[in-house]
């Protein structure tokens, strides 16, 4: 499964957030290097549509898609030099498919900040600088070898060109992610650059920060085009301990429309380049995870490889059409059920039944 690595300076609330994500009860310790072991937390992707589908089909249970988070211990300045836990962090970050960078914007005199001040954007800069430096090192090592290979006609000149342009960009302090469109993803991927991964920013803030739209707009502007989520990790960790009804009430009382963890799962899922399609029946209403752009047979293969091999066709009803019609039969009668072949590219919210040979 694709994973999102949670990174950030020590004491910004990563473990608090991660514990909330997994509802695990690992103690969040109030000092740097509290979280050394990388752990994986798998959270459900919130999807209101499943409840509605289950109602239409009378499904016994709901099976949501999931998003996997890996808790990667805090990076410190100097990580790219291999100081302290640096190399292990970098190795763990390399394995993640996207990066969730947690920054601190909550004021709490009892929680020490490693750099002695609370400044979410400065936190981002500290970490990005380390990741950029690590990528610079990677490319500075690779380029002389590539130059040789290009001279010997063993490597395409386009590969060297990408490496050189990536290096020039990184030397200005910017991430590859922010300039994704300028690079051929296929050529770039084998370099394993960390700043070429998609980034999400999770700003761990407090009640005041959640209410401060100007602050949020400023941070968003600085970090665009990446997605930014504002949440209160401590609040989130309390929320997950409650029964759903009580949690919903507490959330409403706090003036938020959606729990921070739900936002994180939703945005993270999208950032990973994933989407879902839906199936439903009396047993279960279910969301299946596919990559954006996948065709019907590829999507069928997620349920079972035989579905892909023996794919004949898919009967597809848009979620809204199905709910409006009230049943599959009614949707069919209204001409809302489409039969799609092997070249059909799946759309988010397709409710599907596959036909296949066994
Ligand atoms: P990590 O080192 O980034 O994993 O940070 P932790 O999650 O261990 O948090 C460090 C300290 O900050 C702990 O004492 C947490 O209880 C506290 N903390 C985390 N998130 C928040 C928050 O949103 N508000 C406040 N006031 N404290 C927090």
Q: Whose CA is nearest to atom 13 of ligand 1?
A: 30
Q: What is the pLDDT of residue 39?
A: 72
Residues 135 and 231 in one domain: yes
Adjacency order of strands within the sheet including 311-318: 61-63, 284-291, 274-280, 350-356, 311-318, 338-340
Q: Cα 121 from chain centroid?
A: 20
Which burial class, exposed, middle or buried, applies to 176 when counting CB atoms under 10 A from its CB (0-12, 13-18, 19+)?
Answer: buried
Q: Is the same domain home to 239 and 342?
A: no
Domain membership of residue 298 as a residue range:
293-356
Examine residue 61 and state whether it is found in any structural domain, yes or no: yes
Q: What is the mean pLDDT of residues 35-51?
A: 76
Going by C-alpha positions, the residue among 92, 88, 76, 101 that lies closest to residue 39 is 92
Does the residue 121 lie in any domain?
yes
Confidence band for 86, pLDDT divided at 50, 70 and 90: low
- Give me ligand 1 centre to Cα 60, in Å: 39
Same domain, 305 and 237: no
Closest by CA to 120, choosing from 9, 277, 21, 235, is 9
- What residue owns the CA closest to ligand 1's atom 9? 13
- Domain end position, chosen among 202, 235, 270: 270
Model confidence pLDDT, tens digit, residues 293-319: 999 999 999 999 999 999 999 999 999
Q: Are residues 36 and 127 in the same domain?
A: yes
Query: Are residues 143 and 167 in contact, defined by beta-carbon separation less than 8 angstroms?
Result: yes
6 pLDDT exceeds 50? yes
Tell me which residue has its CA closest to atom 11 in ligand 1.
30
Residue ranges for the known binding site for ATP are 11-16
Domain for residue 280, yes or no? no
Residue 155 in domain:
yes
pTM above 0.90, yes or no: no
pLDDT at 34 over 70: no
CA of 98 to the centre of ligand 1 (A): 23
- On whether both 300 and 175 belong to a single domain, the answer is no
| Residue stretches of the annotated binding site | 11-16
Alpha carbon of 329 to ligand 1 centroid (Å): 52
211 Cα to the center of ligand 1, angstroms: 20
Return the closest-CA partner of residue 349 out of 325, 329, 322.
322
Whether 257 maps to a domain, the answer reads yes
Q: Is residue 92 part of a domain?
A: yes
Name residues whose C-beta falls within 8 Å of residue 249's C-beta, 6 or more positions apart in sequence: none
Assess whether 189 and 337 both reside in one domain.
no
* pLDDT tens readout for residues 55-71: 999 999 988 888 888 88
Asked if 114 and 32 sit in the same domain, the reply is yes
Q: Do 37 and 72 share a domain, yes or no?
A: yes
Q: Locate the ligand 1 atom nearest the alpha carbon of residue 102 and give its number.
A: 3
Q: Give 162: exposed, middle or buried? Use CB within 10 Å, 0-12, 13-18, 19+.
A: buried
Pocket of ligand 1 (CB under 6 A): 8, 10-16, 28-30, 34-35, 74, 106, 108, 111, 204, 206, 232-234
Q: Which one is predicted more confidently, 102 or 37?
A: 102
| Rounded distance from Cα 12 to ligand 1 centre (Å) | 6
Mean pLDDT, rounded, for 274-282: 96
Closest CA to 351 of 54, 66, 46: 54
Span 29-44, average pLDDT: 53
- pLDDT of 90-138, one tens digit each? 888 888 999 999 999 888 777 777 777 778 888 899 889 989 999 999 9
C-alpha 259 – ligand 1 centre gap (Å): 18
Question: Among 14, 111, 207, which is best to mutate for testing ligand 1, by the most ligand atoms less than 8 A from CB?
Answer: 111
Output the domain CATH number for residue 316.
3.10.20.30
Nearest CA to ligand 1 atom 2: 11
In a domain, 157, yes or no: yes
Q: Residue for token digits 């770039």? A: 188
What pLDDT score does 145 carry?
A: 97
Q: What is the pLDDT of residues 192-212, one digit of tens each?
A: 999 999 999 999 999 999 999
Domain boundary among 235, 270, 305: 270
| Structure confidence at residue 109 (pLDDT) | 75
Query: What SS3 string covers the chain?
Result: CCEEEEECCCCCCHHHHHHHHHCCCCCCCCCCCCCCCCEEEEEECCCHHHHHHHHHHCCCEEECCEEEEEECCCCCCCHHHCCCCHHHHHHHHHHCCEEEEEEECCCCCCCCCCCCCCCHHHHHHHHHHHHHHHHHHHHHHHHHHHHHHHHCCCCCHHHHHHHHHHHHHHCCCCCCHHHHHHCCHHHHHHHCCHHHCCEEEEEECCHHHHHCHHHHHHHHHHHCCCEEEEECHHHHHHHCCCCHHHHHHHHHHCCCCCCHHHHHHHHHHHHCCEEEEEEECCCEEEEEEEECCCEHHHHHHHHCHHHHHCEEEEEEEEHHHHHHHCCHHHHHHCCCCEEECCCCECCCCEEEEEEECC
Write the pLDDT tens digit of every residue in 208-235. 999 999 999 999 999 988 999 999 999 9
User: Domain boundary at 237, 270, 303, which?
Assistant: 270
Would you say residue 189 lies in a domain?
A: yes
- Answer whether residue 154 shows pLDDT above 70: yes
The total number of structural domains that make up the chain: 2
Mean pLDDT, the chain, integer: 88
Say whether both 331 and 246 belong to one domain: no
Q: Note whether 79 and 226 are same-domain residues.
A: yes
Q: How far is the CA of 129 from the centre of ligand 1 (A)?
A: 23
**CATH code: domain of residue 95:** 3.40.50.300
The preferred substitution site among 5, 7, 9, 11 for testing ligand 1, maximizing ligand atoms within 8 Å of CB, is: 11
The dihedral built from the CA positions of residue 123, 126, 129 and 134, taken in this order, carries a sign that is negative
Q: How confident is the model at residue 80 (pLDDT cuts 50, 70, 90)?
A: low
* Reported confidence tier of residue 346, pLDDT bands at 50, 70, 90: very high
Q: Whose CA is nearest to atom 24 of ligand 1?
A: 234
Cα separation of 209 and 203, whole Å?
Answer: 9
Of 205, 210, 234, which is best to mutate to test ligand 1, by the most ligand atoms within 8 angstroms of its C-beta?
Answer: 234
Segment among 5-9, 27-31, 216-220, 350-354 with least mean pLDDT: 27-31
Give yes or no: residues 318 and 233 share one domain.
no
Domain identity same for 240 and 350: no
Cα–Cα distance for residue pair 38/159, rounded to 1 Å: 33
């Amino acid at each position: 499964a694709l994973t999102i690595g949670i990174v950030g300076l020590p004491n910004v609330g990563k473990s608090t957030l991660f514990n909330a994500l997994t509802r695990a009860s690992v103690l969040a310790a109030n000092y740097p290097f509290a979280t050394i072991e990388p752990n994986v937390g798998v959270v459900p992707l919130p999807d209101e549509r499943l409840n509605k589908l289950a109602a239409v089909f009378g499904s016994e249970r709901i099976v949501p898609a999931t998003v996997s988070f890996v808790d990667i211990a805090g990076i410190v300045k100097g990580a790219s030099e291999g100081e302290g836990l640096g190399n292990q962090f970098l190795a763990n970050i390399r394995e993640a498919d996207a990066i969730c960078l947690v920054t601190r914007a909550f004021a709490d005199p009892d929680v020490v900040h490693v750099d002695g001040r609370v400044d979410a954007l400065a936190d981002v800069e500290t970490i990005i600088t380390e990741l950029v430096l690590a990528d610079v090192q990677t490319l500075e090592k690779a380029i002389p070898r590539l130059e040789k290979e290009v001279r010997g006609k063993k490597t395409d000149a386009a590969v060297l060109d990408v490496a050189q342009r990536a290096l020039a960009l990184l030397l200005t302090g910017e991430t590859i992610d922010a300039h994704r469109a300028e690079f051929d993803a296929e050529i770039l991927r084998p370099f394993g650059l960390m700043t070429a991964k998609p980034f999400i920013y999770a700003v761990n803030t407090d009640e005041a920060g959640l209410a401060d739209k100007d602050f949020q707009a400023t941070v968003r502007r600085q970090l665009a085009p990446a997605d930014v989520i504002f949440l209160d990790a401590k609040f989130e960790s309390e929320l997950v301990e409650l029964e759903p009804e009580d949690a919903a009430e507490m959330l409403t009382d706090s003036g938020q429309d959606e729990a921070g963890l739900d936002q994180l799962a939703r945005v993270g899922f999208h950032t990973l380049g994933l989407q879902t399609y839906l199936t439903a029946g009396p047993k279960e209403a279910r969301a299946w995870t596919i990559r954006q752009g996948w065709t019907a047979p590829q999507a069928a293969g997620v349920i079972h490889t035989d579905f892909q091999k023996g794919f004949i066709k898919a009967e597809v009803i848009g979620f809204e059409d199905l709910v409006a019609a009230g049943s599959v039969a009614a949707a069919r009668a209204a001409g809302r059920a489409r039969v799609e072949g092997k070249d059909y590219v799946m759309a988010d919210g397709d409710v599907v039944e596959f036909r296949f040979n066994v």
